[in-house]
Amino acid sequence: MFGFNETLLKEKTVLITGASKGIGRACALMAAKCGAKVIAVARTQSDLELLQQEAPEQIEVWVEDVSAVSFTDKVKALPQLHGLINNVGTNRVASMLEQADEDLDAVIDLNLKSLYRTAKAALTPMLNAGGGSIVNMSSQMAYVGSPGRTLYCMSKHGVEGLSKAMGVELAPQGIRVNSVAPTFVLTPLTEPMFQDEAFKSFVFDRIPMKKLATTDDVANACLFLLSDLSAMVTGTCIKVDGGWTAQ
């Protein structure tokens, strides 16, 4: 983990949503290795139990739906919280003419509204802790447009606006807010997509580094923003996109 060590997040409590797979899982394991007490949140108990087995003394699991009031109430009731990674998200790929109203609601509700509600709930225990750091999972699609991804782009552009506004509003209270914007990340979920040569060419032609991000690439950026290494960083974004949006 290069410059990270087991004391980077020592004595800090970090809550991570969407923690059972992919980027969220990588963030949970990395935070635990850096000394944090991790609250890993997801809807699938079996996946969370497998995660917990990796670091049973560091990782606590919550089987929760982030859109439920019971979840936000549980977050608000925490005695202290030092870090939050808002990692949940979804996508519905289709042309505008083919998108159903329920797709619009599903993407905005999970990608944007749930981030706001979770962050709002986290403010109470963060203020109890004397401050904290919130990392909202964004995307390179927050900076560009892409065919078939109008809903996703809209939601992620919203995440960037939300992160900037939160960063400005909460700075006087010692709470930093930033985002991380990955390019396409290689996971078991995305791997089948790259068996389509046309899609693979579309993606790789736009990434100057000519490779996909790994979950650890994204987790590294998230952990930096959670830690005191980024003590003067708020209201901004780290793009883990291999140069896609620099063109």
Could you tell me which of 9, 6, 3 has the C-alpha nearest to residue 135? 9
Task: Assign residue 35 a region (left: φ > 0; alpha: ψ between -120 and 50; beta: otherwise).
Answer: left
- 175 burial (CB, 10 Å; 0-12 / 13-18 / 19+) is buried
Return the HEC string of the chain.
CCCCCCCCCCCCEEEEECCCCHHHHHHHHHHHHCCCEEEEEECCHHHHHHHHHHCCCCEEEEECCCCCHHHHHHHHCCCCCCEEEECCCCCCCCCHHHCCHHHHHHHHHHHHHHHHHHHHHHHHHHHHCCCEEEEEECCHHHCCCCCCCHHHHHHHHHHHHHHHHHHHHHHHHCEEEEEEEECCECCCCCHHHHHCHHHHHHHHCCCCCCCCECHHHHHHHHHHHHCHHHCCCCCCEEEECCCHHHC
116 is known as an active-site residue: no
Which of 4, 143, 152, 244 is flagged as catalytic?
152
Catalytic residues: 152
